[in-house]
């Protein structure tokens, strides 16, 4: 897909991987509108020339407000990048079920609801795409992040099924599976981290090349191990 002139809605585009994706898409001539929750970060992206939409996607009201703000506008690419990480480790003590609910909604329900809300305008375009950013942990989970892993696995299977539904349409469904990336969300993660700009570059390349799946960085190796032995793949990640 040639990205020049494409109209893109990018969720979670004011920081981390999303910010780098936004910058790289803009450099290729795309028209990017991005969402975020932090007003200062949104203002910084506005200063870079982006259209921004303040949106909290952790509940239905926030998603519906975003869809209302988008209105009847055209759209070529829906890029579901926004995500939350929640501490849900009973080995550390009690956990917050409300925080888990917000994480589940932001990571899984919101992309599904946005896809449903924008399906018709996507279908009306000559060429369109839905890009869902999941995680290497959608393949094999980490013990300390069960809620996050569950949401990403859920979004992975949603993407696989949606791709089959839309295989004879103008809409390509692309899944990007990053490894651990050097972002604020992973500040406490001791594992080796991929630079956010390189992760974004590979996601953008997957869109340009019309690939169904982008296994990024260490996720490539994990996919190989998982194809040979799912149990071995799980044993590799569960200890983290």
- Just list the catalytic residues: 148
In sequence order, the 6+-apart residues with CB closer than 8 A to the CB of 26 are: 32, 48, 49, 50
The two structure tokens encoding residue 162: 């949606």
- Phi (first) and psi of residue 55, to 5 degrees: -150, 130
Angle between helices 60-70 and 110-123 (to 10 degrees): 20
- Taking the C-alpha atoms of residue 211 and residue 203, their distance in angstroms, rounded to an integer, is 10
- Phi (first) and psi of residue 129, to 5 degrees: -150, 150
Judge contact between 86 and 107, C-beta under 8 A: no
């Amino acid at each position: 897909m040639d990205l020049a002139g494409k109209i893109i809605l990018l969720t979670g585009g004011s920081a981390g991987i999303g910010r780098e994706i936004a910058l790289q898409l803009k450099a290729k001539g795309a028209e990017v509108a991005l969402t975020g929750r932090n007003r200062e970060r949104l203002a910084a992206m506005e200063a870079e020339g982006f259209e921004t939409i303040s949106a909290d996607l952790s509940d239905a009201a926030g998603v519906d407000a975003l869809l209302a703000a988008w209105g009847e506008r055209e759209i070529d690419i829906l890029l579901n990048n926004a995500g939350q990480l929640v501490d849900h480790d009973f080995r550390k003590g009690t956990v917050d079920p409300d925080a888990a609910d917000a994480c589940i909604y932001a990571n899984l329900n919101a992309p599904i609801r946005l896809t449903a809300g924008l399906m018709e305008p996507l279908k009306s375009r000559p060429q369109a795409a839905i890009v869902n950013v999941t995680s290497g942990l959608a393949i094999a989970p980490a013990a300390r992040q069960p809620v996050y892993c569950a949401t990403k696995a859920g979004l992975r299977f949603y993407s696989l099924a949606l791709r089959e539904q839309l295989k004879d349409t103008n809409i390509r469904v692309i899944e990007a599976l990053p490894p651990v990336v050097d972002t604020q969300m992973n500040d406490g993660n001791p594992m080796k981290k991929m630079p956010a700009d390189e992760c974004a570059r590979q996601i953008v390349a997957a869109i340009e090349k019309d690939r169904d799946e982008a296994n990024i960085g260490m996720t490539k190796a994990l996919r190989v191990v998982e194809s040979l032995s799912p149990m071995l793949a799980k044993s590799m990640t569960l200890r983290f």
